[in-house]
Structure 1
């Protein structure tokens, strides 16, 4: 493997050699084809094209990586939670591969520093971190196959982050909890959304969550989705005792 690395370093630019070393440290093994990993960090704004005229970016790898993550995590949960039914296993997998968690994984590895883009890094949303983590997993699968992909996910996701007992109590969507509870208790709920310019001209969205025609919680955030989630979290804490009852 060291011979492969030396050959690569001599046949490529210094920049590619540095990239090779950095990726090798993250992976914990030597890549065979570094081009998969270069592609994993290529944003569509770079407008790169193959010799066949096809776009070169990480989006297809992101799709593949998402599938690989789900597969490996599903197998792990199947083995570690033998009493869990389909619904339980699905919820647990969703908590592990939630967008929030994938973003954290991407940030922990500082993957954003590798991205090739014509868009300034500070213009990207939070999800860029999770997207390129998934594309990296996809690149590993293409480069070294399922076994190496599984080992990487075990090392970087399952061993440091997956504690089934802690995950059972983790909430990934307060809005889903509120809606599920309202439907179960046959309560009428709705989110009323309005716009607000907020501070220093920053656009904010305000949300009022009503249950049985009574306003239960209000929240503001920079997107409708975030405002709804924040209002739902406040509603959850207001009704936590009732919602947590089996």
Structure 2
């Protein structure tokens, strides 16, 4: 058996050998099929297709990984918080698998180092880190099955990153929080795009947040959604004492 493993290891290309070793350190076990992981790190800009003409990139694996993360974390919360109702459990799961948190995980695992792309990494959006992380989870499932995937999520994600008490106070959307508060307090609000310049990846949006007819915060970002979230966070801190009392 040792001889067979040695021959298999020596049959890999030098590049695959380096890839295998780096993956093993992250995974905590030996991967079986490197092709699943290569696909998880293939950007759509590569325009790859398989022998049957199917598109080869990380997007389908991203879908699979999202489902795996959601199910394993849902089961963990169900067992960990027996008094939590459906609304509480749903909110907590959303915090754990939020785009912000997944981006942090992708960065912590430094998965961007493996990405094969014709686009320069400096032009990637922030969410690429989370997208690749989800694809990585999907690749683990295809490579080793549910049991290994579940163990990886528990060992590498839930145990070091999921703190129920800390997450209870974590805000995942300042915009949602602020809108909910304005509606409860019967305050008028709206977001105004006051600046829209640049093209393509360099395009920026300026947004003003109005509450009761006054501008309480401004923000600029590469999308209106991001600018509104940043402005909402700044607006939250303006009214924090009032909001936190509710």
Task: Note whether the superposition's TM-score is higher than 0.5.
Answer: yes
CA contact (8 A) 1:45 1:118 kept: yes
- Equivalent residue for 2:133? 133
Once residues 196 and 52 of structure 1 are traced to their aligned partners in structure 2, the CA distance between those partners, rounded to angstroms, is 43
Q: Deviations over 1:102-157 (max 9, x none)?
A: 11111111111111111122221111111111101001111111111111111221
How far does residue 19 in structure 1 lie from its aligned partner after superposition?
Answer: 0.8
Does 1:188 find its partner at 2:188? yes
1:30-179 paired onto structure 2 within 5 Å: 30-179=30-179
Does 1:21 find its partner at 2:21? yes
Q: Deviations over 1:165-199 (max 9, x none)?
A: 0111111111110111122223221101121659x
> Matched residue of 1:195: which SS?
strand
Once residues 2 and 214 of structure 1 are traced to their aligned partners in structure 2, the CA distance between those partners, rounded to angstroms, is 73
Once residues 8 and 48 of structure 2 are traced to their aligned partners in structure 1, the CA distance between those partners, rounded to angstroms, is 22
Once residues 4 and 124 of structure 1 are traced to their aligned partners in structure 2, the CA distance between those partners, rounded to angstroms, is 41
How far does residue 8 in structure 1 lie from its aligned partner after superposition?
Answer: 3.2
Once residues 193 and 113 of structure 1 are traced to their aligned partners in structure 2, the CA distance between those partners, rounded to angstroms, is 36
- Equivalent residue for 2:231? 231
Structure 1 spans left out of the alignment, 5+ residues: none
Q: Deviations over 1:55-82 (max 9, x none)?
A: 1111100000001001111111111111
CA contact (8 A) 1:173 1:229 kept: yes
Q: Deviations over 1:197-223 (max 9, x none)?
A: 59xxx6542222112223222223333
Aligned in 2, Cα 1:4/1:107: closer, same or farther, shift over 3 Å?
Answer: farther
Once residues 56 and 85 of structure 1 are traced to their aligned partners in structure 2, the CA distance between those partners, rounded to angstroms, is 40
How far does residue 3 in structure 1 lie from its aligned partner after superposition?
Answer: 6.1
Aligned in 2, Cα 1:220/1:43: closer, same or farther, shift over 3 Å?
Answer: closer
> Matched residue of 2:51: which SS?
coil
The number of aligned residues is 243
Aligned in 2, Cα 1:4/1:118: closer, same or farther, shift over 3 Å?
Answer: farther
> Matched residue of 1:117: which SS?
coil
Structure 2 spans left out of the alignment, 5+ residues: none
Once residues 57 and 231 of structure 1 are traced to their aligned partners in structure 2, the CA distance between those partners, rounded to angstroms, is 34
Once residues 2 and 63 of structure 1 are traced to their aligned partners in structure 2, the CA distance between those partners, rounded to angstroms, is 37
Q: TM-score, normalised by structure 2?
A: 0.92
